[in-house]
């Protein structure tokens, strides 16, 4: 998969699921921006998919 395709996939995921996310908004309101960001990265299934895409990009950069 090319770098462009991985970035396009990441953008599509964020546009589809992250824009207007209730959990992110509520966590940010209740606990702060840092907590909400950490929640998205470590506990959200979409965040896990984004991490996997980031790993693909990292592997491509090392080649």
Q: Dump pLDDT digits (tens) for 16-57.
A: 999 999 999 999 999 999 999 999 999 999 999 999 999 998
Confidence band of 61 (pLDDT split at 50, 70, 90)? confident
Instruction: Kindly tell me the sign of the dihedral angle through the C-alpha atoms of 29, 31, 33, 36.
Output: negative
Please state the pTM of the whole predicted model: 0.79
**Alpha-carbon dihedral sign for residues 29, 32, 34, 40:** negative
Q: What's the longest Cα–Cα distance across the chain?
A: 42
- Give residue 63's pLDDT: 67
């Amino acid at each position: 998969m090319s770098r462009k395709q991985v970035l396009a996939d990441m953008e599509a995921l964020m546009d589809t699921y992250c824009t207007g996310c209730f959990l992110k908004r509520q966590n940010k309101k209740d606990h702060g921006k840092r907590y909400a960001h950490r929640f998205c990265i470590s506990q959200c299934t979409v965040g896990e998919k984004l991490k996997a895409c980031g790993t693909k990009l990292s592997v491509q950069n090392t080649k």
